[in-house]
Amino acid sequence: MSDRSTLARTLNSLDGRGYAGYKQLRGAHDLSADDLDADDLAGVRLVVDHVQVDPYAPPSLMRVQVDRRTAALPEDLLEDARGRTAVADFLTRRIAEAVKRLSPTQPGDGSIGIGRPGQQVIERTSVVIGEHDVEARLHVALPASGRRIRGRAAARLLTETLPRIVESTLRHEALEAEALREHVALHRDQQQLRHQLAEVGLVAFVGDGAVLPRRSGDSDLPLAASDAVPFRSPESLRVSFTLPSGRQVTGMGIPEGITVIIGGGYHGKSTLLRAIERGVHPHLGGDGREWVVTRPDTVAIRAEDGRAVTGVDISPFIGALPSGTDTRRFSTTNASGSTSQAAALVEAVEAQADALLIDEDTSATNFMIRDDRMRRLIPAEQEPITPFVDRIRPLHAERGVSTILVAGGSGAFFDVADHVIALDSYVPRDVTDQARALADPGAGAAEDAVFAPTAPRVPAPDSPRGGREPGTGGRGGRPKPARARGRAVVQQGKQDIDLSAVSQLVDPLQTSALAHALDRASELADGRRSVAEIVEELIRRMDADGLDALSPHGGHPGAMARPRRHEFHAALNRHRGLRLV
């Protein structure tokens, strides 16, 4: 392993050579200071796993490893998985800030990156806290002039700039100790509250004082406090929790069962539902939604015209079709609004959802309701669709699946609601009694079971990838790895998997993890494992070995963030190459 001085000399000697000369950097280098009195940096290694093939290729992949003794992070912050996730997130954010502050600004001088997390605190590959060291995974664009190496600039980048970044971010004495401790305490408190919700019969909790609106439709940052109406719970729904840090939070508890959110247009119905939807993830302090906490197996569903559906039993909602298609094993490459929403609901339940979030604005009307006039004009025997309003109570009674639903144009769900919350200028009121006075007392009566157990869906061997497609293979006929294109699309072979309707996917790096997961799922598909069993095996591997388990590479696994079980199911279920035995 070369030391820092040797690495600098090597880089200087490469100045002016062809870009392929950077391949000499592969391997480990000791970045500890040659003169420890100079910057007191000891026990630091740089590992170069992959060197980009030319200046226009994706950046090189490198890891910085700092001995736990050098990092000196407080052990009480690292004693559980929640603490390690929060510490890693804090360090990632500090490294991103240091990179922005210290990196070169001139074109061609190269750059260092780690990615900047959003408002959620979730498991990532960017920083990993191991038994012996703290490891930061970086992507580094090595300096170049055209296709020639700028060796002196590279030496400054890797032996001067990078050590300064490490010194200011990966040693506890250089960090804001109280800010780190509060970051961890907040994360632990949020996760403990999320764990407690099921124990007390709640689906979600919205804390008093929460700021739910965002700055704009394309921003996840909070609206300025001066422009926002802080959330305030109705007294009838107010609950309180005492958390591990000793803090107490109060706010609105949304009980299990069926909750309908109503109100005039632009009064905050969808804003509240959106916050609950994002509440499956912990949030940063100062986000405004720190205390909007939702059970982790809550899934938002909507209509998705044109999506693929493969072998899904939508018969509880869609019966005998005029074409004679069997809806107990329904497949299509171009689903309608109603069939896509029915499939999304059934798939969510298959993925162990215990609560659904539905907004009337993004739903298929004929899936949701069927009014009395239409029922009189079109007899039931001529209508294959049984609307959700007729199935929402059996879904809860038979499967234990709650629903939180926004309704602005119809009171049909009053008949089946357990609770009704009205939003008036962003202020919630419990109007359950008033809604019940308007409800049909005979609606929602008990009926025969409709959600019978269904047979597991078993992918065919090597599905969904299906082996090499012409024009997509790599060397030796091996298919190219799947890759993410932003937050909403995964490309595998010639197939694009559209995830734009999977609204609880909050970070493009989660989509990168799903891309790797689809490749691993294809390897696991053997004609015997079901979709659910394949996903559970992927989760088991991640629980044991972290997100690195999804990557085909040793060393730096690539930049990823962890999705939930439900997003793994969503990606598989929307793949047009999914084939079942």
| Cα–Cα distance list, 22 to 42, 60, 99, 107, 139 (Å) | 25, 10, 22, 18, 15
Confidence of residue 469 (pLDDT cuts 50, 70, 90): very low
Q: What is the reported pLDDT for 102?
A: 95
The single residue listed with the structure tokens 């000697």 is 13
Percentage of residues in the chain having pLDDT higher than 90: 87
Say whether pLDDT at 25 is over 80: yes
Pairing relation of β-strands 144-145 and 202-207? Answer: unpaired
User: Which residue, among 560, 462, 566, has the nearest Cα to 550 in the 3D structure?
Assistant: 560
- pLDDT above 70 covers what percent of the chain? 96
Instruction: Give the model's pLDDT for residue 471.
Output: 46
pLDDT category of residue 477 using cuts at 50, 70 and 90: low
Summarize pLDDT for 249-282 with one digit per residue, the tens: 999 999 999 999 999 999 999 999 999 999 999 9
Q: How confident is the model at residue 470 (pLDDT cuts 50, 70, 90)?
A: very low
- What per-residue confidence (pLDDT) applies to 105? 87
Give the C-alpha separation, 157 to 103, whole Å. 8
**Cβ neighbours of residue 217 under 8 Å, at least 6 residues apart?**
none
Structure tokens, 226: 């001066």
Q: Rounded to an integer, what distance in angstroms lies between the CA atom of residue 70 and that of residue 41? A: 8
Q: Is 364 helix (H, G, I), strand (E, B) or coil?
A: coil
For residue 324, report the phi and psi dihedrals to the nearest 5 degrees.
Answer: 85, 5
Q: Where are the domains of the chain?
A: 4-175, 299-416, 475-573
Per-residue 3-state assignment (H helix, E strand, C coil) for 391-442:
CHHHHHHHHCCEEEEECCCCCHHHHHCCEEEEEECCEEEECHHHHHHHCCCC
In contact, 99 and 112? CB cutoff 8 Å: yes
- Check pLDDT > 80 for residue 467: no
Mean pLDDT of the chain: 94
pLDDT over threshold 90, residue 400: yes
pLDDT category at 304 given cuts 50, 70, 90 is very high
Amino acid letter, 137 = R
Grouping H, G, I as helix, E, B as strand and the rest as coil, residue 15 is coil
pLDDT of residue 104 exceeding 50: yes
- Mean pLDDT computed over 322-336: 94
Span 119-172, pLDDT tens digits: 999 999 999 999 999 999 999 999 999 999 999 999 999 999 999 999 999 999
Cα 266 from Cα 342, distance rounded (Å): 28
Q: How confident is the model at residue 107 (pLDDT cuts 50, 70, 90)?
A: confident
Q: How confident is the model at residue 446 (pLDDT cuts 50, 70, 90)?
A: low
**CA angle at 322 for the pair 328 and 457, rounded to the nearest 5°:** 15
- Residue 419 β-bridge partners: 259
Average pLDDT on 478-482 reads 85
Distance CA 455, CA 581 (A): 12
How much is the pLDDT for 472?
A: 46
Over 60: is that where the pLDDT of 98 sits?
A: yes
Give the model's confidence band at 324: pLDDT under 50 very low, under 70 low, under 90 confident, else very high: confident
Least confident range of 376-390, 391-405, 523-537: 376-390
DSSP 461-505: TTTTTTSPPTTTB-GGGPBPPPEEETTTEEEETTEEEE-TT-TT-
Following DSSP, what letter does each residue of 501-552 receive, concatenated?
T-TT---HHHHHHHHHHHHHHHHH--SSS-HHHHHHHHHHHHHHH-GGGG-S
**What would the mean pLDDT of 222-235 be, rounded to a whole number?**
95
Q: What integer pLDDT is reported at residue 462 of this predicted model? A: 87
pLDDT tens-place string over residues 59-82: 999 999 999 999 999 999 999 999
CA distance 540 to 491: 25
Confidence category of residue 466, pLDDT binned at 50, 70, 90: low
